[in-house]
Amino acid sequence: MFTILPVPHEATTSYGKGTRNGPAAILKALKQVEEFDEELKLEIRPGKEYTIAKPASLASLVARYASLLSSNTIPVMLGGEHSITSAAVKTCAQKFKNLSVLQFDAHADLRDKYQGRKDSHACAIRRVLEICPAVQVGIRSISKEEYDWAEKSGQLKKMHLARKIEPVDKIEAQLSQNVYITIDVDVFDPSIIPSTGTPEPGGMLWYEVLDILKGVCATKNVVGFDVVELSPKKGDIVSDFTAARLVHKVMGYISSKKQ
Ligand SMILES: [Mn+2]
């Protein structure tokens, strides 16, 4: 039902490096995650409910992603930096009409350009908005330029700051029926996932994020999701495991709706 697609792309990281090692660390930790989900009372097992594809480069990503969609599997993309998301969203938008994106992130990622590049990870959601609407959750780092643009374009109404997350039904009401979910692991408080390239204090906690994911997966048709920006650090296995557990939970939430 799911195909995990590792995309160890790293070209524009601006602070802590190492997200190219994210997919391998998540896959290693995923082997340790309990296959039975005690909340959902179902098993999510390798070779059964999910398979793991060979890693894709950014250049091959659109073609690889399109072939997964055409084989009716749900792609689970592991980053790598956040700039890989727009390629997946663009491919989903070709197959699914009425698509919107749910972004979990500390950063708004609404810059048109960053350090001279339009493909920077700091521009990830601005590129997505050129394809379809997006709802943003957990934001607590935004430039004045981004804020002014969000206000003028109306995007600000779909931006839920970490300090005041709206109830899940309000978030659901802003999404269309087909939803792509992108999770930058820095949406979590650094006490939950410290190993990320651009950490921000005051992030969301584990069950706060899960409750929104559970609600959205239950009410929407989730066509694909990604977990990006894990930057594994020696000595910190908590971040790797938590990211793997997150991938497993989201596969469970989507599966329990489809049963
Ligand atoms: Mn971020």
Q: How far is the CA of 149 from the centre of ligand 1 (A)?
A: 18
Cβ partners under 8 Å of residue 152, min gap 6 = none
The reported pLDDT for the residue numbered 12 is 85
Q: How far is the CA of 48 from the centre of ligand 1 (A)?
A: 32
How many CA within 13 A on the CB side of residue 59?
Answer: 0
Give strand pairing partners of 188: 204
> 258 falls in which pLDDT band (50, 70, 90)?
low
The reported pLDDT for the residue numbered 257 is 83
The reported pLDDT for the residue numbered 13 is 82
Interatomic CA distance for residues 246 and 240, integer angstroms: 10
> 165 falls in which pLDDT band (50, 70, 90)?
confident
Q: How far is the CA of 108 from the centre of ligand 1 (A)?
A: 7
The reported pLDDT for the residue numbered 15 is 84
Cβ partners under 8 Å of residue 30, min gap 6 = 46, 244, 247, 248
Q: Is 121 within 8 Å of 185 (Cβ atoms)?
A: no
> 259 falls in which pLDDT band (50, 70, 90)?
low
Interatomic CA distance for residues 145 and 245, integer angstroms: 35
Interatomic CA distance for residues 232 and 18, integer angstroms: 7
How far does the chain reach from its first CA to its final CA, in angstroms?
Answer: 11
Beta strands in the chain (DSSP E): 2-7, 36-37, 42-43, 50-52, 74-79, 99-104, 134-139, 159-161, 178-184, 221-228
The closest of 30, 53, 15 to 243, measured between CA atoms, is 30
Using one digit for the tens of pLDDT, what is the confidence trace for 15-62? Answer: 889 999 999 999 999 999 999 999 999 999 999 999 999 999 999 999
Q: Identify the domain containing residue 153 by its residue range.
A: 2-258
Q: List the CATH number of the domain containing 241.
A: 3.40.800.10
Q: Is 115 within 8 Å of 14 (Cβ atoms)?
A: yes
> 14 falls in which pLDDT band (50, 70, 90)?
confident
Interatomic CA distance for residues 186 and 194, integer angstroms: 8
Q: How far is the CA of 111 from the centre of ligand 1 (A)?
A: 12
Q: How far is the CA of 222 from the centre of ligand 1 (A)?
A: 21
Q: Which residues of 134-146 are buried (b: 16+ CB within 10 A; e: fewer)?
A: bbbbbbbbbeeeb
Protein residues within 5 Å, CB atom, of ion ligand 1: 105-107, 184, 186
Give strand pairing partners of 204: 188
How many CA within 13 A on the CB side of residue 72?
Answer: 0
Interatomic CA distance for residues 208 and 75, integer angstroms: 24
Using one digit for the tens of pLDDT, what is the confidence trace for 62-101? Answer: 999 999 999 999 999 999 999 999 999 999 999 999 999 9
DSSP states of 40-79: TTEE--BTTTEEEPPP--HHHHHHHHHHHHHTTPEEEEEE
User: How many folded domains does the chain comprise?
Assistant: 1
Using one digit for the tens of pLDDT, what is the confidence trace for 122-162? Answer: 999 999 999 999 999 999 999 999 999 999 999 999 999 99
Q: How far is the CA of 187 from the centre of ligand 1 (A)?
A: 7
Using one digit for the tens of pLDDT, what is the confidence trace for 192-244? Answer: 999 999 999 999 999 999 999 999 999 999 999 999 999 999 999 999 999 99
